[in-house]
Amino acid sequence: MQNNSAPSRTIAYVYAIAAATLWGVGGPVAKYLFNHGVTALALTQVRQTLSFLFLLTFFLATRPALARIGLRDIPYLAVMGIGGLAMVQFSYYSAVSRIQVAAAILLEYMALIFILVYSALFMKERITFPKAVSLLFAVAGCALVAGVYEVDFLKLNLTGVAWGLASAIFFSFYTLYGQAGLKKYNAMTLFAYASGFGAILWWVLNPPQAFFAVKYSGLTWLAFVYLALFGTTLPFILYFESLKRMEASRVSITTTLEPVVAGVVAYFFVGETLELLQIIGGILVLAGIVLLQQTPSPPIPHVD
């Protein structure tokens, strides 16, 4: 059973907020790479590959026990890496390539609703009024921060919408599926092997001769390393550590801070503007997180 004491919940919120912050800061870095000719496939491929190599090296040098997994768990980790971690990134970037970013973000964050409904139906988690209000604030705030009010929904590419909804489903899947694996493995071990199996998929789809045919600059590789360490590895580990201590619905709602952080970073370092409605959206997200933190959290059900 996971520890669900007040200090543990506080740590869980800190981990979730830190993960969202790191993801948010990584957004403008990824945007820089896209603007300089890096494809979504190549970025996802190198991020997951470097994440696996960094963690495996760290394990072997300092904590070899973390590198050990049971043979029976290989199928679980493969599904986690390919059907979860890899596909959520691929589906999201596929949506972004076909529809406006604001619409893609809003569709991906429909995962919060899926997670809440699944948790209520199959994990016997109570949907309290404060939690429902927090969810409403978070989704509405994300929509405003993303600038969804500027999207012409009647002209959206249906394939892009389908990929956006798929990203929400995959996001929900790896959150709930990954929480089960935390009973047996450290968050770093779980993420390392999920990254490794996800990377295998990308190297099959984009073989070495195709990847290395593109000559990337030193600055691009530096951005790759930054995103692998601080935009992927560390935030996902923090995310899973949060899932060990708190219900998936609370963790996912808390991480809606990500687009708020991305907007603020883009404002200060990329020169993008923040409109009044976007600022209001950020306040709504923060209000939802604060309200969620003030409500009591029941014991986390044991997941088989």
For the residues 128-144, what does the mean pLDDT come to? 83
What is the per-residue pLDDT for 156? 67
Exposed / middle / buried, residue 79 (Cβ in 10 Å: 0-12, 13-18, 19+):
middle
With cut-offs at 50, 70 and 90, classify the pLDDT of residue 121: confident
Q: Report the range of poorest mean pLDDT among 51-65, 160-174, 268-282.
A: 268-282
Nearest to 144 by CA among 115, 171, 109, 93: 109
Q: Tens digit of pLDDT for each residue in 233-265? A: 898 889 888 888 888 878 888 888 887 887 787
Asked which of 139-143, 248-252, 272-276 is least confident by mean pLDDT, the reply is 272-276
Mean of the per-residue pLDDT values for the chain?
82
Of residues 68, 75, 82, 79, the one with CA closest to residue 185: 68
134 token code pair: 């927090």
Calculate the dihedral angle through the C-alpha atoms of 97, 99, 102, 103, rounding to the nearest 10 degrees. Answer: -130
Q: Phi/psi of residue 233, each to 5°?
A: -60, -60
What are the Cα distances from residue 151, in Å, to 148, 196, 197, 211, 279? 5, 37, 36, 34, 18
Mean pLDDT of 152-175: 82
Domain boundaries, the chain: 6-294
Reply yes or no on whether the pLDDT at 50 is more than 90: yes
Residue 302 has pLDDT above 50, yes or no: no
Backbone CA torsion sign across 265, 28, 267, 175: negative
What tens digit of pLDDT does each residue of 195-210 get?
999 999 999 999 999 9
Alpha-helical regions (H) of the chain: 6-35, 40-62, 74-78, 87-96, 101-108, 111-122, 129-145, 158-181, 187-205, 208-211, 218-228, 234-245, 248-254, 257-265, 276-294
Q: Which two tokens stand for residue 12?
A: 């869980």
Q: What is the pLDDT of residue 262?
A: 76
User: Which of 17-21, 68-72, 84-88, 129-133 shows the lowest per-residue confidence on average (mean pLDDT)?
Assistant: 129-133
Query: How confident is residue 185, by pLDDT bands cut at 50, 70 and 90?
Result: confident
Tell me the whole-structure pTM to 2 decimals: 0.75
Share of the chain above pLDDT 70, in %: 89
Dihedral angle sign, alpha carbons of residues 85, 32, 15, 132: negative
Joined together, the tokens standing for residue 295 give 């409500």
- For 216-234, what is the mean pLDDT? 91
**Overall average pLDDT of the 4-22 stretch:** 82
